Structure 1
Amino acid sequence: MRKTKPSAETQQDAQAMAKALQRPNQTKEQTKLIAQGIQKGIEQYKKQQKAKARERDKALKKAKPSHSSTPAQATPAAQGASNALPWWLLAGSWVLFGVYGVYTLIASAN
């Protein structure tokens, strides 16, 4: 891994935190070491957040194609079932209409 120089913002944040935590009789050298430790912590936190963001993006990319293809596959089957119901109802009504017509013919003949 290559070493990168921390940003000026990170250095300023670390220095500000170190000064806020400074104790009485603490030397400038000790404050500087504390600031370096805080700076390393900030850098490590940023790296972790970047790694989490990358993993989240990878998961979204994997989920997106499978998520979009699943409804597309389920839709034709659902449409086929929903399209069949009206046809069955139409056929059933014609059968009942025919039975009723035959029954009325037989009843009127007697």
Structure 2
Amino acid sequence: MTSATPSPETQQEAMKIAKATQKPGQTKEQTKLIAQGIEKGIAQYKKQQKVKARERDKDKKKQIRAKQAAKQENETPDISVTDSAHDASNNKLPWILLVLSWVGFAAYFALAQSA
């Protein structure tokens, strides 16, 4: 993506900086060399900034994934706790009905024998 030659904007900016820092008696050739050095510095700075931006993006994605994973982990136990509480009440119901039916049969037979 990056070309070997800097963009015209970068070249103009480097030339402005080189002329601004030009010493008395400095030749145009020396100023051009200084401008080229500044261009290289700007190009290197831009590359470093791109690398840093990529790293920040990677870190943000990791944080988002971690938050989503934590959110899913938090949601999953809530569902299982609700299910286990629901299962516990369902497990008691058949036993309660069994006991009531036995009590009912015992009462029925007791009344039938006394009559």
**Smaller-chain TM-score bracket:** 0.5 to 0.7
In structure 2, runs of 5+ residues without a counterpart are 86-115
Secondary structure of the corresponding residue to residue 22 of structure 2: coil
Residues paired across the two proteins, number: 81
Q: Unmatched 5+ residue regions in structure 1?
A: 85-110
Residue 20 of structure 1 corresponds to which residue in structure 2? 20
Aligned ranges for residues 1-110 of structure 1 at < 5 Å? Answer: 3-77=3-77, 80=81
Structure with larger Rg: 2
> In the alignment, which residue of structure 1 is the partner of 2:100?
none
Partner of 1:4, secondary structure, is coil
Instruction: Report the TM-score when normalising by structure 2.
Output: 0.61
Which letter maps to 1:5?
T
Q: State the alpha-carbon separation in 1 of the partners of residues 72 and 3 from structure 2.
A: 48
Amino acid at match of 1:49: Q
Using the TM superposition, give the Cα deviation of residue 3 of structure 1 relative to its aligned residue in structure 2, in angstroms. Answer: 4.8
Shift of 1:78: 5.7
- The one-character-per-residue Cα deviations of 1:40-79 (angstroms, maximum 9, x if unpaired) are 0000000000011111111222221221120231245468
Post-superposition CA distance 1:78-100 (Å, at most 9, x none): 6849xx8xxxxxxxxxxxxxxxx
Q: Residue 45 and residue 18 in structure 1: after superposition, are their counterparts in 2 closer, same or farther (change >3 A)?
A: same
Q: Report the counterpart of residue 88 of structure 2 in structure 1.
A: none
TM-score normalised per structure 1: 0.64
Instruction: List structure 1 segments (4+ residues) > 6 angstroms apart after TM superposition.
Output: none
CA RMSD of aligned residues (A): 2.1
Q: Distance in 2 between matches of 1:23 and 1:56?
A: 41
Which amino acid in 2 is paired with 1:65?
A: R
Name the % identity: 56
List per-residue Cα deviations over 1:19-54 (Å, max 9, x = no partner).
000011110001000000001000000000001111
**Aligned-partner residue type, residue 7 of structure 1:** S
